[in-house]
Amino acid sequence: MALLEIIGLTVKFPTRFGNFTATNNVSLEVQAGEIHGLVGESGAGKTTIGAAVMGLLQSPGYIGSGSINLAGENLLALDNNQYHRVRGNRISMIFQDPQTSLNPLLTVADQLIETIRQHSDVTADDARTQAIQLLEETGLSDAKQRIDDYPHQFSGGMRQRVVIALALCTQPELIIADEPTTALDVSVQKQILALIRTLAKDRGVGFILITHDIGVISEITDQVTVLRSGRVIESGDTRQVLMQPTDNYTRALMAAVPRLEQRLHRFNNIVTDDSIIDGDDHWQVDGASAKLASDWLLSGHQSSDTGTTASTTPVLAVKDLEVTFQSGQPGWFQSRSGVKALSNINFDMHAGEVLGIVGESGSGKSTLAKSIVGLVDPSAGELRFRGQPLPPGSKRHRKHPVRREIQMIFQDPYSSLNNRLTVEQIIAEPIRFYKLARNRAHIRQLVASVLELVEMPQRAMLKYPHQFSGGQRQRIAVARALVARPDFLICDEPTSALDVSIQAQILNLLKDLQEAFGLSILFISHNLAVIRQMTDRLLVLKNGKLVEISNTDRFFREPAAPYSQQLLRETPSLSHLNAR
Amino acid sequence: MLTFISRRLLQSLFVMLAVSLIAFALFRFVGDPVAQMVGQETSIEDQERIRERLGLNDSIPTQFVRFIGKLASADFGYSYRTRQPVSEMILTRLPATLELGFVSLLISLLIGIPAGIYTAIKRGGALANTLLVTTLVGISIPTFVIGIFLIYLFGVKLGWLPTFGRGDTIALGWWKTSFLTLDGLKSMLLPALTLGVYQLTLTMRLVRAEMQDVLKTDYIKFATARGINYRSLYFNHAFRNTLIPVITIIGLQLGGIIAFSIVTESVFQWPGMGLLFLDSIRYVDIPVMSVYLVLIAMMFVIINLIVDMLYFFIDPRVRLASEAN
């Protein structure tokens, strides 16, 4: 008998516009000791399935039909109090972000001991002993000393171990892990995944692993279920499903996953069903077309690139850059102390080059971008843009030409667009600010044309940002950056907030634009596979220091620095599926 | 902890100095002190002698330093109106106000916190909605109307409770308390309720809003998923996390209750500091007013210090960060 059996699960959320079906007739089985992956893009219903199994559906959601059986017992027949006794005791859960899933006011010991004693009749001392053993088992070597610490005293990876210990402490039969490694750096991710693998094998715990990351799925799951819009697309043995997908959607999804092993010129065969793009998009501005936008952008380029030295001087030269953040207020008797976010950074970037910056969180990637674009003042060192010294942000005049020539695309398209302005106002702003158009009609024409250039219908200019999906918003953000006619684009994790198929579309778009306009792009990402697809050269940062500069192809063949080798080794990859 | 407290004390000292300066200005420059002390028939020479004896001819900074010195040694001077020492007048009134403030705080916390938690958990329930609407009415009506209404209902119509004064008190040294007699407690009830209604509503709504936020957090979801029983979930896990903002606001409000219980005290003829202050305004009794000002400022400073220290006990992040320094 299967440990967990979900049969024909349909979850509905009543809304003002009728019922929204979050999952539709979903069936799956999890055996004891098995790791079952649920994969799909946002809105696929992965998390809803997890919540339904826990009996913790967000109100007003309800289970329309189907059944959930745990070791043969129908969970849906339980009343709330009976269900609450199942939680923790037989099914437990691991959440995405270890920063927020532990109670900040209680020590780790408090939280563990309370949970253990909730479900078994042991003394506080016994529970404490058990808790220490568990923490050791999950990889906290000095558990005895650290058990009385508070969550904020642990690092992210350590916290996730505590979370896992908490999920395990009542010896549940099933654990639902909802994106357990998404908020972690790759090295920590590797360790946590290995831990989950061990626990499944040694303790016979069944896992449901919810993730959007195909790399993670391929690394540790035995079975996988691919979901889309609340329906099961394909299900079966992980290797089988990922390597020989039978469904078109799975195939398209796999094609959209950036690979570490090879550089594709473009992503092919990608899913396109952005519903807003379809439909009535015949509305047009007179004379507007993608061609117009591209001609206009090209003409702008030539005029700014007339200098004969342009090809030889690097477009950006960074020399001995150092950024220090002052920490807090200076004490009465001590001098100001600071954290060095970046130190001793040196590199050149050539015109038309795409330079990647990789590193784990806290490595200084974004600080580097911000000091170039002028949002952070360097504490030492020199920046030169096309041979001219680049003043620090606070001294850079508002009308300084560099303000137009360097544009930035941010990570989160939900917060980088002003929701109170229409798309037309958003895109027209740089044109008006830099006085790039002759008159209003021209501005309007340009806005419509550039939207078409980023593969959006012209009609989009009449709407507000909230009417678009994440991928469409990011296209709008790209259009806004382009319309300033920049030579230099800084993309700070431009696809990290997006689903893989959307990511593939945006990456394709950026590649096309880069080729068409010969843009120099500084491309920041924590995702090595994306860096491989996008960049010519890359920098590796660690704790604010430069570890390695390398040609991208060479880096992936033979990384020089030990840290780079480690980084590559720890990044989940699909290649082992072939090798196995 | 010690460095933290000593730093806060130092800051408090500056606040107190600033307030003393205002009190001194009030004392020295609002009208001529001598003219207010003496009768019309006092000769100019006598007035001059009094002026000299009181040190009013010295330079202003010297006078200010002397003023501070006297305040610090609890020598508050004499009231113009009653010719009693101000310290004596305040000491007889202080217990009444503090006891009233304490009881109304107790009422507001004992009812407000559970009601806040309840309305957060049972969102949209019938009782929760009733509570919200009634307290909204309570907060919208001015204090004196509530007081008069309570007097009418319980004092006049039903005749259950006394309507003015402190009733019987028992002296513990100089502190006269009404906690130890039935009559005193009965007299306390109506004014305390009147004073506490606003605080109660505020506490309830604040706790409710904070609880609703906390209940949405991942750590509460995780604790639910671990099957922690609901009582511990709500009180130990969720409520504790609402305490920091709740204590901050309640602390500020408590200062307000004590300092500005004037309206309630006058409705119930409660012989506290508020009533004393009202009388001193009526008779331009400047020494009493300036001392009152300093004392109330000190009360706020002390309450804020206590609130800051409570952060220490509640939030390990504050505690450990200061230990690390």
In this prediction the ipTM stands at 0.78
Q: Which residues partner with A65 through β-bridges? A: A10
Q: Is A63 part of the contact surface with chain B (CB cutoff 8 Å)? A: no
Chain B partners within 8 Å of A119 (Cβ):
227
pLDDT at B207 over 90: yes
Confirm if A119 and B227 have CB atoms less than 8 A apart.
Answer: yes
Q: How far apart are CA A35 and CA A577, in angstroms?
A: 16
Nearest to A45 by CA among A68, A61, A29, A69: A61
Of B222, B227, B315, the CB nearest to A95: B222
Q: Would an 8 Å CB–CB cutoff place A86 in contact with chain B?
A: yes
Where among B72, B107, B122 does a domain terminate?
B72
A vs B, Cβ pairs < 8 A, gives 84
**Region of residue A320 (left: phi > 0; alpha: psi -120 to 50; beta: else):** left
Question: CATH for A1-90+175-256?
Answer: 3.40.50.300
Q: Between B226, B236, B317, which is nearest A115 by CB?
A: B226
In a 3-state reduction of DSSP, which class is residue A469? Answer: coil
- Give the nearest chain A residue to B240 (CA atoms): A105
Residue A407 in 3-state DSSP?
Answer: strand
**DSSP H/E element including B202:** helix B182-215
3-state secondary structure of B262: helix
Inside any domain, residue B90: no
Cβ count within 10 A of residue A554: 12
Surface of B (202-231) touching A: CB under 8 A: 217-230
User: Across chain B, what does the average pLDDT equal?
Assistant: 84
Residue B80 inside a domain? The answer is no
Same domain, B6 and B122: no
In-domain check, residue B202: yes
pLDDT computed for residue A191 by the predictor: 86
Give the three-class secondary structure for A200.
helix
SS3 A56: coil
Identify the H or E element spanning A577: helix A575-579
Instruction: Cite the residue boundaries of each domain of chain A with CATH code 3.40.50.300.
Output: 1-90+175-256, 300-327+349-392+400-422+469-579
For residue A306, what pLDDT is reported?
A: 44
Alpha-helix runs per DSSP H in A374-422: 401-405
Rounded distance between C-alpha atoms, residue A369 and residue A527, angstroms: 17
pLDDT greater than 50 at residue B247: yes
Q: Pairing relation of β-strands A91-94 and A174-178?
A: parallel
pLDDT for A277 equals 46
Q: Which residue of B has its CA nearest to A82?
A: B227
Of B72, B105, B124, the position where a domain reaches its end is: B72
Name the stretches of chain A with pLDDT < 50: 274-279, 303-309, 331-332, 580
User: So what's the pLDDT on residue A66?
Assistant: 92
Structural domain contains residue B155 = yes
Chain A positions in Cβ-Cβ contact with residue B229 (cut-off 8 Å): 84, 118
Environment class of A276 (CB within 10 Å of its CB; exposed 0-12, middle 13-18, buried 19+): middle
What is the helix (H) or strand (E) element at residue B255, kind and residue range? Answer: helix B240-259
pLDDT in tens, B13-51: 898 889 888 888 877 777 777 777 777 777 888 888 888
CB-based contact, B240 to chain A, within 8 Å: yes
Q: Helix, strand, or coil here: A530?
A: helix
Neighbours of B158 (CB within 10 A): 9
Question: Which pLDDT belongs to residue A348?
Answer: 93
Tokens representing B140? 């919208």
Contact indicator for A48, A42 with CB cutoff of 8 Å: no
CB contact under 8 A, A152 and B225: no
Rounded Cα–Cα distance for residues A433 and A442 (Å): 14
In a domain, B305, yes or no: yes
- Contacts of residues B195-198 at CB distance under 8 Å and 24 or more positions apart, as own/partner, are B195/B100, B195/B101, B195/B104, B195/B143, B195/B257, B195/B261, B195/B264, B196/B103, B196/B104, B196/B105, B196/B107, B196/B108, B196/B257, B197/B108, B197/B138, B197/B139, B197/B143, B197/B146, B198/B138, B198/B139, B198/B143
- Residues B50 and B174 occupy one common structural domain: no
Domain A300-327+349-392+400-422+469-579, CATH? 3.40.50.300
- B317 inside 8 A of chain A by CB: yes
Q: Which residues of A touch B219 (CB under 8 A)?
A: 100-104
pLDDT at B54: 75
* Confidence check: pLDDT of B68 > 50: yes
Q: What percent of chain B has pLDDT over 70?
A: 98
Task: Kindly indicate the confidence band of residue B163, based on its pLDDT and cuts at 50, 70 and 90.
Answer: confident
Q: What is the pLDDT of residue A308?
A: 45
Closest Cβ–Cβ partner in A93, A97, A107 for B225: A93
d(CA A560, CA A564): 7
- H or E segment at B79? none
pLDDT at B211 over 90: yes
Q: Do B317 and A119 touch (CB under 8 A)?
A: no
Question: What local confidence, expressed as pLDDT, does residue A235 receive?
Answer: 93
Reduced to 3 states (helix: H, G, I; strand: E, B; else coil), residue A446 is helix
Q: What are phi and psi of A2, to 5 degrees?
A: -70, 150
Give the DSSP letter of residue B193.
H
Main-chain dihedrals φ then ψ at residue A323, nearest 5 degrees: -125, 130
Residue B16 located in a structural domain: yes
Q: What is the pLDDT of residues A41-56, one digit of tens each?
A: 888 888 899 999 999 8
Q: Quick one: pLDDT at residue A54? A: 92
Structure token pair of residue B215: 């209940």
Strand order, beta sheet including A18-30: A18-30, A4-15, A62-70, A73-74
Q: What share of chain B is helix, strand, coil (3-state, %, to 5)?
A: 75, 0, 20
Structure tokens at A188: 């920590």
Note whether residue B227 is domain-resident.
yes
Across the interface, whether the CB atoms of A166 and B320 are under 8 A apart is answered no
Q: Distance of CA A83 to CAs A46, A390, A410, B61, B233, Å?
A: 21, 63, 44, 74, 16
Q: Where are the beta strands (DSSP E) in A376-503?
A: 380-385, 388-389, 406-409, 488-492
Question: Over 50: is that where the pLDDT of B167 sits?
Answer: yes
Q: Chain A closest CA to B317's CA: distance in Å?
A: 7
CA distance A567 to A540: 10
A281 Cβ under 8 Å from any chain B Cβ: no
Half-sphere exposure of B200 (CA within 13 A, CB side): 26
Instruction: Quote the crossing angle between the two packed helices A500-517 and A470-482, to the nearest 10°.
Output: 20
Supply φ then ψ for residue A148, to 5 degrees. Answer: -90, 10
Strands (E), A91-248: 91-94, 174-178, 206-211, 223-228, 231-237
Does A553 touch chain B if contact means CB atoms closer than 8 Å? Answer: no
Same domain, B264 and B303: yes
Distance between A54 CA and the closest CA of chain B, angstroms? 7
- Among B4, B214, B226, pick the best mutation site for testing chain A contact (most A Cβ within 10 A): B226
Number of domains composing chain B = 2
For residue B45, the surrounding DSSP H or E stretch is helix B44-53
Domain assignment present for B320: yes
- Across A405-509, the runs of DSSP E, i.e. the strands, are 406-409, 488-492
- Tell me the Ramachandran region of residue A490: left when phi exceeds 0, alpha when psi lies from -120 to 50, beta otherwise: beta
* Owning domain of residue B35: 2-72
* SS3 assignment, position A154: coil
